[in-house]
Amino acid sequence: MEENTQDTTSAVSCPTEIDPTESMASTTTLDAAPEAATLPECSSEVAPSFEERQPAPKEIDYEKAFVEYLRYERNMSPETIRAYEKDLYQFLRFFSRGDGTIIDPAKITTLQVREFLAQLKEKNYQKTTVVRKLATIRSFYKFLLRKGYVTGNPLTDIETPKVEKKLPHFLSTDEVEKLLNAPQGHTFQSIRDRAILETLYSTGLRVSELTALNTTDLDFTAEVIKARGKGRRERVVPIGSFALQAIKRYLEVRIQVPRTNDRDPDALFLNRFGDRLSSRSIRKILDKYIKVTGLNQKTSPHTLRHSFATHLLNRGANLRMVQELLGHKHLSTTQIYTHVTTDSIKKQYEEAHPRP
């Protein structure tokens, strides 16, 4: 719009005094009538049309729109959203022309999607990772179709690779006991770490749910905690006496930590600077005690969640109850633990029976 106005002005030799209506015409807005856009009589050039004066439609930031959809409509956790963002970023930049230009998603073809998947295979990505990235891209195009940003889906004829479900790694009760007793001493860190490990095993919480806990989520009288899971769904989870005792002891030393974050005063588990612990910090804490105890290096914070579910089922807990405690939306997700318990029973049978 500015270029049209400047070109017209430079080509015109006009009087020094300009009619106010002509001045208004040079800055015509969308609300002004087209007739107001008149040229001085001294010009022989044609005035820009009303359509030429309109600003170009603002380009849609599809990535940003998708992330906002995940955050505000799907209520996904920050960790899940970051994973989606990372996968989508990689997918869209694969089609970049090298100058950072992002291709219009509507122009991406099925063949191009296959080229992207072929590159992942060349780089030796695991099948589980490829499946996750495909799930992200499918969700992205479903969103675009729903909003009317595209008219077709290039993934319609793309099949998802079949992945064998791996049985979750879990610890034996003796190994759990060894891990929980690893934090020793009376320092703030050791008391806090014991409370964290006890809480993870006692409740089966996800790490993201643990880090999101506030002091107000604890009910010592009812012996339950309020957890916020995937999709920000809340559930009430029982917590055992050992974990409660560990938390009570932690709260006594928690008040000694200087609080620098006044915007988050209720965070339960803090670092030594008074800020809420992150999921990465929990992983580092666990890694320290894995080395101390000599446990399997595959052990992760999620291993305690797997151990929680497996031990409950081994002791006769109902599958539906375990589903509720874990916060699984679908029972099929919980059923993986029945395979674990079956294998465990078979192993015990073979070890104990005289003629297995």
Percent residues over pLDDT 90 in the chain: 55
pLDDT at 308: 94
Please tell me the chain's helix, strand, coil percentages from 3-state DSSP, rounded to the nearest 5.
55, 5, 40
Confirm whether 276 is a catalytic residue: no
Confirm whether 328 is a catalytic residue: yes
Catalytic-labelled residue, pool 132, 226, 288, 302: 302
Using CA atoms, how far apart are residues 175 and 317, in angstroms rounded to an integer?
Answer: 21
Q: What is the pLDDT of residues 5-40, one digit of tens each?
A: 444 444 444 444 434 333 333 333 333 333 334 344
Catalytic-labelled residue, pool 192, 194, 305, 311: 305
Q: What is the pLDDT of residues 84-103, one digit of tens each?
A: 999 999 999 998 766 667 88
Q: What angle do CA 282, 287, 293 make, to 5 degrees?
A: 130
Using DSSP's 3-state secondary structure scheme, residue 245 falls into helix
Average the pLDDT over 221-238 and give the result: 88
Using CA atoms, how far apart are residues 117 and 133, in angstroms rounded to an integer?
Answer: 9
* Residues 6 or more apart in contact with residue 25 via CB below 8 angstroms: 36, 37, 38, 39, 47
Average the pLDDT over 200-226 and give the result: 94
62-147 fold = DNA polymerase; domain 1 (1.10.150)
pLDDT at 355: 66
Q: Where are the domains of the chain?
A: 2-53, 62-147, 173-352
Average the pLDDT over 118-147 and give the result: 95
Catalytic-labelled residue, pool 133, 192, 194, 206: 206
Helix 279-293 with 173-180: angle, nearest 10 deg: 110
Average the pLDDT over 234-243 and give the result: 94
HEC per residue, 79-116: HHHHHHHHHHHHHHHHCCCCCCCCCCHHHCCHHHHHHH
**173-352: CATH superfamily:** Intergrase catalytic core (1.10.443.10)
Confirm whether 206 is a catalytic residue: yes
Percent residues over pLDDT 70 in the chain: 78
Give the pLDDT band of residue 44 (cuts 50, 70, 90). very low
Average the pLDDT over 115-131 and give the result: 94
Length of the chain counted residue by residue: 356
Catalytic-labelled residue, pool 84, 250, 289, 337: 337
Any idea what DSSP says for residue 313?
H
Q: What is the pLDDT of residues 312-351, one digit of tens each?
A: 998 888 889 999 999 888 888 888 887 777 766 667 667 7
Confirm whether 142 is a catalytic residue: no
Q: Is the pLDDT at 238 greater than 90, yes or no?
A: yes
Catalytic-labelled residue, pool 230, 249, 259, 283: 230
Q: How many helices (H) and strands (E) does the chain have?
A: 16, 3
pLDDT at 345: 63
Using CA atoms, how far apart are residues 117 and 121, in angstroms rounded to an integer?
Answer: 6
Give the pLDDT band of residue 233 (cuts 50, 70, 90). confident
pLDDT at 296: 85
H or E stretch at 191:
helix 188-203
Least confident of 22-36, 49-63, 107-121, 334-348: 22-36
Confirm whether 114 is a catalytic residue: no
pLDDT at 153: 95
Confirm whether 305 is a catalytic residue: yes
Pick from 39, 55, 57: which is nearest to 3 by CA?
A: 55
pLDDT at 130: 95
Token output for 194:
């014991």
Pick from 323, 298, 313, 318: which is nearest to 343 by CA?
A: 313
pLDDT at 113: 96
- pTM of this prediction exceeds 0.75: no
